[in-house]
Amino acid sequence: MMGIWIARLQNLKRKPIVLIMMTVMTLVMAYVLGASSNGKMSISVAVDGSETTQAVLERLNDDDGYLFREITEEELQQKAKKDIRMVGILLNKTSYTVLAASESDSVRNLSLLIDSAYKDISFKQRVINVGGEDTWTTVANSIQDDQAFSLQMEAMDESEVFRYDNALQSLFGFMLFFVFYTVSINVQFILDDKRSGVWNRLKLASISRFQLYFSHLSFSYAIGLIQMLLVLFVFRYILNTNMYDGFWNVIFIAAIYVLIVMAFSVLVISLVKTISQSSVVISLAAVAFAMIGGAYWPLEIVQSEGLLAIRWLSPVYYAMEAMKRVTVYEGTLSSVWTYVSMMVGIAIVLLVVGISLLEKRTERYHSSE
Which residues are bridge partners to 46 per DSSP?
90
Say which DSSP state 49 is in.
Answer: S
| Separation CA 251–CA 245 (nearest Å) | 12
Complete DSSP assignment for 210-253: HHHHHHHHHHHHHHHHHHHHHHHHIIIIIS----TT-HHHHHHH
Q: pTM here? A: 0.70
Angstrom distance (rounded) from CA 323 to CA 172: 8
Alpha helices in the chain (DSSP H): 2-14, 17-33, 51-61, 73-82, 105-131, 133-145, 166-196, 198-204, 209-233, 247-271, 275-293, 305-309, 315-327, 337-360
Angle at alpha carbon of residue 110, lines to 107 and 113, rounded to 5°: 155
pLDDT of res. 321: 93
Closest CA to 65 of 109, 97, 31: 109
pLDDT the model gives residue 318: 94
Contacts of residues 364-367 at CB distance under 8 Å and 24 or more positions apart, as own/partner, are: 364/273, 365/191, 365/194, 365/195, 365/199, 365/273, 366/194, 366/195, 366/197, 367/195, 367/273, 367/274
Per-position b or e across 159-189, b if 16+ CB within 10 A of its CB? eeebbbbbbbbbbbbbbbbbbbbbbbbbbbb
> pLDDT in tens for each of the 369 residues of the chain?
676 677 667 766 777 777 788 778 878 877 776 544 555 567 888 888 788 888 888 888 877 567 788 888 888 888 877 776 677 888 888 888 888 766 666 677 778 888 888 888 888 888 777 777 777 777 677 666 655 555 555 544 444 456 777 788 888 999 999 999 889 888 888 777 777 666 666 666 667 777 778 887 888 899 999 999 999 998 888 888 888 889 999 999 999 999 999 999 999 988 888 888 888 999 899 999 998 998 888 887 777 788 788 888 999 999 999 999 999 888 889 989 999 999 999 999 999 999 888 887 665 444 444
Candidate CATH numbers 3.10.450, 3.40.1710, 2.40.50, 1.10.287; the one for domain 40-147+154-160: 3.40.1710
Contacts of 49 (CB under 8 A, 6+ apart): none
Q: How far is residue 233's CA from residue 237's CA, in Å, rounded to a whole number? A: 6
What whole-number distance in Å separates Cα of residue 194 and Cα of residue 55? Answer: 69
Is 57 in contact with 70 (CB distance < 8 Å)? yes
| Pick from 219, 277, 262, 221: nearest CA to 355 | 262
Q: CA triplet 157, 67, 87: central angle to 5 degrees?
A: 70
Q: What are phi and psi of 62, to 5 degrees?
A: -75, -15
CB 69 within 8 A of CB 43: yes
Amino acid at 320: M
pLDDT at 260: 95
pLDDT of residue 238: 87
Question: What DSSP character marks residue 313?
Answer: G
Domain residues of the chain, as ranges? 2-35+165-366, 40-147+154-160
| pLDDT score of 149 | 52
Closest to 40 in 3D by CA, of 17, 60, 20:
60
